[in-house]
Amino acid sequence: MLRFTVRRLLGAIPLLLGVSVLSFVFMQLAPGGPDALYARNKRMSQEQLDQIRENMGIGRPVHEQLAVWLGNLLQGDLGTSYTQYRPVADVIWDAFPNTVLLMTAGLAIALVFALLFGTLAARKPYGPFDNLTSFVSYFGLAMPVFWFGLMLQILFAVKLTWLPSANMRGVDGGGVLDVARHLVLPAFTIAIGSIAGWSRYVRSSTLEALNQDYVRTARAKGVREGAVMTRHALKNALIPFVTVASIDIPLYLTGAVLVETVFSWPGMGRLFFDSLQVRDYPVLMGTLVLGAVLIVLGNLIADLAYGLLDPRIKYR
């Protein structure tokens, strides 16, 4: 497994390099170059501007600027934000844990409800509950995530006043429970599409597993139906489900842009949207590179999870 992991990480280097180069090219082609955007800040001294130009290689040929940027990137230096005038790494690091919290909560909610709805629907296919979950799943897949978030805000924050409508904390700062209350609506919003799609995959995979010989043998031996579902059918049904889930996980990064903007959640998605509006290209480049790294790591974790679910899988 170690050799497989190392080989996958080495194979990801060209992908990350390509994303970095494309990010740099987009910044160069974007209107209003970095020199002009830095210079518009009247609070910056000429010495500070000269230092930034030197660090970024501004004024040199494009290929030299690219070499400087890649060299700085390898050292963890993503440049300086145009608008906040802070290192991009610090700006991103302030938002990154909040996005991880939102994605983790959304994934947990999606997994729990997808497994629950999918297995219950598979126990009695084409029954009332199966038909209901099918309708809700199609509705969830067709529904824009930002619209669903707005509807949750209107219902639970405005009408019922059960939950806060936006931000990560209340005006008084709050503690863990306050953050949890603010997390509920955006986490369910970002998870709704996965619940809708994953539950149908779990249903179909479970139905296929229930028709296998080992399940018939377990039932013939008198194993309880609940044990048949959890120990035999569901465990084997999770193997194809992991493939689907690993493909969808990167979508959480793109979904975070909309969800964090709707709920004013101070994460990478909102940071990307705000930076796009003010043309803060170093921050945009940094978030794109970090997003590519997270996608690579997510796919690697999914591949490693196959071995835990199915011991027959061998890594070479």
- What are the strands, taking DSSP E only, across the chain? none
Burial annotation 283-313 (CB, 10 A radius, 16+ → b, else e): bbbbbbbbbbebbbebbbebbebbeeeeeee
Average pLDDT for residues 254-272, to the nearest whole number? 86
Q: What is the pLDDT of residue 52?
A: 66
Q: What is the pLDDT of residue 287?
A: 86
What mean pLDDT, rounded, does the chain reach? 80
- pTM for the whole structure: 0.80
pLDDT at 263 over 70: yes
Q: What is the pLDDT of residue 200?
A: 87
The predicted-structure confidence for 136-168, as pLDDT tens digits, reads as follows 888 888 888 889 989 999 999 899 888 888 888
pLDDT at 173 over 70: no
Q: Could you give the C-alpha distances from 242 to 2, 74, 225, 230, in angstroms and in order? A: 21, 32, 24, 16
Q: What is the pLDDT of residue 22?
A: 83
Delineate the domains of the chain, giving CATH numbers in brackets: 2-74 (no CATH), 93-309 (1.10.3720.10)
235, two tokens: 């465990």
